[in-house]
Amino acid sequence: MRHSNGLFAQLRAAYLRGGMPAFQEVHRAALLKQRAYRTLWKLVDLASPVSALLSLAESFNRRIGEVGLSAAANEMIDTLGFRWEKHLPETEMEILATAPLLIYGNHPSMLTPFLIAAALNRSDLRIIALSYVAKLIPSLEAYLFPLHASQRRTLRGRSRSGMAHALSLSLIYRLDGQLNPEVARDRNRVSLNRATEHILGGGATVIFPGGGGKETRGWFPGIGNIVANLAQTPEADTIYLVAVRVSASSNSRVYSMLSENPVSRLRRRLLYRQPIRLTFEKAVPVADLTTGRDHSPQHLASFLQAHYETLSR
């Protein structure tokens, strides 16, 4: 038991030092040298295709550094073998390609931000995401405004995205640790301010205010924070909010594509035949949705959630 605890400490120290690439070095050495670890990892791979996911992340990380996020995202989606469709209103093409934007919507799977990056092909696209993503794929750090979770999701909450994903998140959370809630909130405030400045500078930013998976809950106030700050600027009528919806996508589908066991192959044939669909709604100036409204972040988050659900219907 002490030996296994020592190995986990080495893996965690490597992860904290150099992210997933450093973790992989220690992990591969342990697979070669330790039979018990090799056996344990085989059991993990039976429950969730973690090895395939690590390999995909390693390749994606390298390609982002070589060709940029949008091109690497396109390649990664093609490698996984997903059919997908993007629906962009023709009248909005120039706005989506060049204007300052805050893009917001649902986040049913780990693919969501990369589908958006592939669809828009903007070099100035930035993503608001949980901080551990930069450790999993270090080349993404240049494209992220990181948020730190102030509290851990329960196993029940994680499992709503599928048990395979719950197992992966459990491993990540054990490696990553947790910041003091007050420190997390301070750092999150800095990231949201950076996102606002990026948009004011003409860039595009993506936020997923409801979190990930299938959970139904009120949106986090981060989106309200950004929109409130944008609404108070002279540029509020030339900065756009763009709602996006992803359908026929889930983490279970991603894991199914990565796994070669008979059940996954059957699921691919029977459950996942339709293409993933990415739909962008009409771009709306910030001023149109905020003029005359309470600018408190929580109120704006609740209003935008209700507006988004109306668009979805």
How far apart CA 237 and CA 223 sit, in angstroms, is: 18
Reading the chain (313 residues) residue by residue, the pLDDT tens digits are: 445 568 889 999 999 999 999 999 999 999 999 999 999 999 888 878 889 999 999 999 999 999 999 999 999 999 998 899 999 888 889 999 999 999 999 999 999 999 999 999 999 999 999 999 999 999 999 999 999 876 555 444 544 555 667 767 777 777 777 778 899 999 999 999 999 999 999 999 999 999 876 655 789 999 999 999 999 999 999 999 999 999 999 998 998 888 877 777 788 878 888 999 999 999 999 999 999 999 999 999 999 999 999 987 7
Residues 6+ apart with CB under 8 A from 236: 230, 285, 286, 287, 290
How far apart CA 28 and CA 10 sit, in angstroms, is: 12
β-strand 101-105 against 204-207: which pairing, if any? parallel
Query: Is the domain covering 68-312 a CATH 3.40.50 domain?
Result: no
DSSP classification of residue 220? P
Please report the DSSP string for 127-154 in residue order.
EEEETHHHHHSGGGGGGEEEE--SSPPP
Query: In the chain, what are the domain boundaries?
Result: 1-47, 68-312
pTM summary value = 0.90
